[in-house]
Amino acid sequence: MSAQKFFNKAISNNGKPRVINIDKSGSNKSALWAVNRRSCSVKKIKIRQCKYLNNIEDQDHRNIKRRIMITGFKDF
């Protein structure tokens, strides 16, 4: 239910995407199925599920994390 509310709010704010990348969680998949069933347009949202697809964005911050750990910003 909360995943469906999140997708509805995101689509209303940003428009309908062509493809959504999600991890292997079942709640996201079922929420997107419900959004696709409810939509009046012919264009459906493609669901691309991959366990590690979102990790690329998380690895972007790896160098920053390493610098912060070395310089000791956490010791304030």
Q: How many other C-beta atoms can be found within 10 angstroms of the C-beta atom of residue 67? A: 10
Structural domain total, the chain: 1
Q: Return per-residue pLDDT of the chain as tens, 76 residues.
A: 788 999 989 999 999 899 988 888 888 899 999 988 887 777 889 988 877 665 665 666 667 666 666 655 555 5
Q: How large is the angle between the packed helices 26-38 and 2-14, nearest 10 degrees?
A: 50
Q: Please report the beta strands in the chain, taking only residues with DSSP state E, as ranges in sequence order.
A: 19-22, 46-49
Range of 69's domain?
2-75
Cα–Cα distance for residue pair 49/29, rounded to 1 Å: 8
Q: Answer whether 32's CB lies under 8 Å from 47's CB.
A: yes
